[in-house]
Amino acid sequence: MTEASIAAQRIEQLRAELDGHNYRYYVLDEPSVPDAEYDRLFRELQALEAEHPQLVTPESPTQRVGGEALAAFGEVRHEVPMLSLGNAFEEEDLLAFDRSVQSGLGLAGDLFGGGVEVEYSCEPKLDGLAVSLRYENGQLVRGATRGDGSTGEDISSNVRTIRNVPLKLQGEGWPQVLEVRGEVFMPKSGFEELNVRQAESGGKTFANPRNAAAGSLRQLDPKITASRPLEFCCYGVGQVSGELPATQVGMLEQLKAWGIPISRELKLAKGVQACLDYYRDIGERRMGLPYDIDGVVFKVNTIEDQQQLGFRARTPHWAIAHKFPAQEELTELLDVEFQVGRTGAVTPVARLKPVKVAGVMVANATLHNMDEVARLGVMIGDTVIIRRAGDVIPQVMAVVPERRPADARDVQIPENCPVCGSHVERTQLVKRSKGKETFSEGSVYRCVGRLACGAQLKQAIIHFVSRRAMDIEGLGDKTIEQLVDEQLIASPA
């Protein structure tokens, strides 16, 4: 045998061995060798490929380091739309979902019960970024973000750098085309280490693991993505040119056998009460999990039943995300400022002593309107309970009256617009009945300045150029604000 053929044989052995170690480590959670041994094999492969560059292939474990930086991401059209999930926030929401499923499958009982229990797959709802991975003949050929559900961004170069994404499927019998879908996320430990590295190098630190994962996956330079501790977890499939097992759990277990990582918390539940038990169990263990989750996903287990139940416009009838209650924190209300919107509405915004809520530093929160201020009984200086509703929008939920300081001040609506100085007046509601008109005070206060008010002008033009209106590209909020401030534009015209 020639030196080249010996090298080629050893390279194939090393690749197969490293792929096997990756599968046992990331998918089975059963590491087969110490990290030092894995590193030794990896370095040997790197050295051989450096000596014989003609033998380097795209699916080699060494090719996860990232290629050349991209100028921009291309677009990917999803053959099967990537839909959202409906949400359940209360126990009754999940019970209503189960009743709807039973009814849709013709399994519901009478007024006295007696319905057939439906089997559901159960898994945590990871807080990351939804992606699609396309395999052809067992080889990873493309990765894409969810985007708007119909069209996403081509992030193939970046997903190839994620250590637990198989570049080549294990085993045999996979379909010619297999599109798997799942979540790219950053484990808590990796997130903390990344922020330490970023701070030491003077780089940007991230507010939470989800932001870090999303930012890492959308880097134009794959080498940056390769340096980030990302992981992938599959929860379903898209386009498939062949047969898969007839149940959700069976299908995921088959994907696992082919080397695709799935949730280690995947379980089968018979009936909605078993689903609620799973939800409570995961909720109790939530803080101890090595990754962030914001709820639990339940899916009708039988694929034929999923097809029978079908879809709404953007969500399936056969799946639901049971969200955990929003996380809450106490902080101090430092001040209340007033913002002016596009229609002239003058709304109160709470300025808070910064506090971390659900992994994000919160310094501002909505108070909606003055009726809400009155309902809460909130005063400047109060200690308040902040909640990120749906883990997104910070809200002032309640006041802790026993902590109110002696110098607390009332929240007063300004008589004049804080932007243009025009008069602020309260809206009136008109109710017409049997030819009579009755007037009552509305909850909204408005600046009467209209387009003479800089704030209303900016918001009007921002709305005018937005995607839902004239869809003018390249004219962003900051540009419009500068143009208005410099008095270069005074109306949409």
Tell me the catalytic residues. Answer: 125
Residues in the chain: 493
The pair of structure tokens assigned to 257 is: 């056998």
Rounded distance between C-alpha atoms, residue 301 and residue 233, angstroms: 18
Scored b (16 or more CB within 10 A) or e, 230-258 reads bbbbbbbbbebeeebeebbbbbbebbbeb
Given a contact cutoff of 8 angstroms between Cβ atoms, the answer to whether 318 and 300 are in contact is yes
The pair of structure tokens assigned to 184 is: 């790219």
Given a contact cutoff of 8 angstroms between Cβ atoms, the answer to whether 173 and 36 are in contact is no
Residues 6+ apart with CB under 8 A from 77: 150, 151
Rounded distance between C-alpha atoms, residue 120 and residue 362, angstroms: 37
Is 150 exposed, middle or buried (CB count within 10 Å of its CB: 0-12, 13-18, 19+)?
exposed
Alpha helices in 23-89 (DSSP H): 35-51
393 phi and psi, to 5 degrees?
-95, 120
Which uninterrupted H or E stretch holds 455?
A: helix 454-465
Strand, coil or helix: 346: strand
C-alpha distances (whole Å) from 96 to each of 91, 117, 122, 314 are 9, 14, 17, 19
Strand, coil or helix: 2: coil
DSSP secondary structure string for all residues of 209-243:
HHHHHHHHHT-SSHHHHHTS--EEEEEEEEEESS-
Pairing type for strands 75-77 and 151-153 reads antiparallel
Select from 473, 61, 62 the least CA-distant residue to 259. Answer: 61
Tell me the residue type at 316. Answer: P
Strands, sheet with 267-270, edge to edge from the N-terminal-most edge strand: 86-88, 319-323, 293-300, 119-126, 267-270
DSSP secondary structure string for all residues of 367-396:
--SHHHHHHHT--BT-EEEEEEETTTEEEE
Which uninterrupted H or E stretch holds 109?
A: none
